[in-house]
Amino acid sequence: MSNGQLHAAGGSRVVVAMSGGVDSSVAALVLKQAGYDAVGISMQVWDYRKNGGCASRATCCSPDDFTDARRVAGMIGIPYYVFDFEHTFMQRVIEPFLRTYESGETPNPCIDCNSKVKFRELRDRAYGFGCECVATGHYARIEKIGDRYRLLRGSDPAKDQSYFLYMLSEQELARTMFPVGELTKDQVREIAREAGLVTADKEESQDICFVSGRLKEFIERHGTSPRPGQIVSRGGQVLGSHSGVHEYTVGQRRGLRIGGSDKPLYVVELRAERNEVVVGERSDLENHTFDVRDVTWVSPDLIEAVSERDGTIKALAQLRHRHRGVPVTISLTAPGTVRVSFVDEWAVAAPGQAAVFYDLQNSALLGGGRIVRRSVEESKQVQPLAVGFE
């Protein structure tokens, strides 16, 4: 079977990030079979003994997982090493993660881990060993057209992970490979079984690898102490109490523990500075537009190619992992900031989460950024901007 994902120069030395799971195991196997000089690396990012968190089988990067990764590397016949990234991970993933929650937003640590640890620090260190290219077991594809590179959704729609990779630039894509991107999960497991890899039937990893059990407990253990406060209506009426804004996400309905309303109540805003959780009806979540900051694009000319004559971009916006994506119009408001307008249906835009833009075929990733926090009132008032790209 030909694999269009293996675009690096044949026989070159490639680092493959191995978590001890089946996807990266098969990624390593595919590279080795294709004749690359693959070097397996596991990243030690979290001290499970010291900090708690999952030492269970259902996660990655625990000592057990390193044992699995090492055994797989041995079976495949590639060198394997464990690198320490604890300090970097703490600085660039855990601390921003905690700060984001404290500010009333919902963070996405996997995106920071990819862009600031895996595809930066790991690539830099691997460069010292003659590795130009980093490969991972992500379900996403890189399309090479001439000397241009595009990031596409993975072939398995149920497993696509391109959302978490939106920060990769075209230059980075040129030095990245996703060897399982064209495969389905079932195919990956089948390959692993046929090769007799010990990870073939291993469970899926959880969403946030360093948190086991309840997220709330993790944040309380590692962040500032929880500050109890009030749950209020949009009009300011006190409806109940909460034990910390970090326990809530905009759009959340369950677990509010307040009654007395005919209609179901949703979290519509988190006012961290006043330590208030604002609830309202579903219609209060409805918005026409939202703003996105820290926006990055895969490449400038890709954006140029998909821009309308007025400078706006018509795209599909995916607003959280597993969100199917809705049509939007994107306008540049300031460098690195865009305003996104829904076209015919709206979706919950939780502050702090990534908004990731795809082309209208829902295939090529254009770019993305972080959803800006805004009060309910602001989002009701703001109209789409007519400002376009220059």
Active site residues: 113, 209
Q: Work out how close the CB of 138 gets to another protein at its nearest, in angstroms, rounded to a whole number.
A: 21
Taking the C-alpha atoms of residue 367 and residue 383, their distance in angstroms, rounded to an integer, is: 23
Minimum distance from residue 149 beta carbon to another protein (Å): 20
| Minimum CB distance to another protein smaller for 84 or for 201 | 84
Q: Which of 3, 12, 33, 51 binds another protein (CB under 8 A)?
A: 51
**Cβ neighbours, 10 Å, residue 64:** 15
What minimum distance in Å lies between the beta carbon of 28 and another protein? 15
Contact between 82 and another protein per CB under 8 A: yes
Identify the residue among 11, 56, 129, 380 touching another protein (CB under 8 A): 129
Site for another protein in 6-25 (CB under 8 A): 13
Residues 101-120: x where in contact with another protein by CB under 8 A, - otherwise, as a string: -------------------x
Maximum CA pair distance of the chain?
Answer: 67
Q: How far apart are CA 168 and CA 171, in angstroms?
A: 8
Burial of 164 per CB tally in 10 Å (0-12, 13-18, 19+): buried
Q: Which region among 77-85, 279-287, 296-304, 313-321 touches another protein (by CB under 8 A)?
A: 77-85
For residues 221 to 260, the per-residue mask of contacts with another protein, x marking binding by CB under 8 A and - elsewhere, is: -x--------------------------------------
90 binds another protein, rule: CB under 8 A: yes
81 binds another protein (CB under 8 A): yes
- Any contact of residue 85 with another protein (CB under 8 A)? yes
Least CB distance to another protein at residue 73 (A) = 13
The answer to whether the CB of 133 falls within 8 A of the CB of 118 is: no
Residue 311 CB neighbour total at 10 angstroms: 14
- CA dist 219 and 235 (Å) reads 30
- As measured in angstroms, the least distance from the Cβ of 218 to another protein is 11
- Residue 273 has which token pair? 């500075």
Query: What token pair was written down for 42?
Result: 């596991």
Least Å distance, CB 169 to another protein, is 15
Reference 290, options 189, 373, 177; nearest CA is 373
Q: Give the N- to C-terminal CA distance of the chain in Å, as an integer.
A: 44
Give the nearer residue to another protein in terms of CB position, either 124 or 294: 124
Q: What is the residue-wise DSSP string for 257-296?
A: -----SS--EEEEEEGGGTEEEEE-HHHH--SEEEEEEEE
CA atoms within 13 A on the CB side of 69: 31
- Which residues make up the interface to another protein (CB under 8 A)? 13, 39, 42, 44, 47, 50-51, 63, 66, 79, 81-88, 90-91, 94, 120-121, 124-125, 127-130, 222
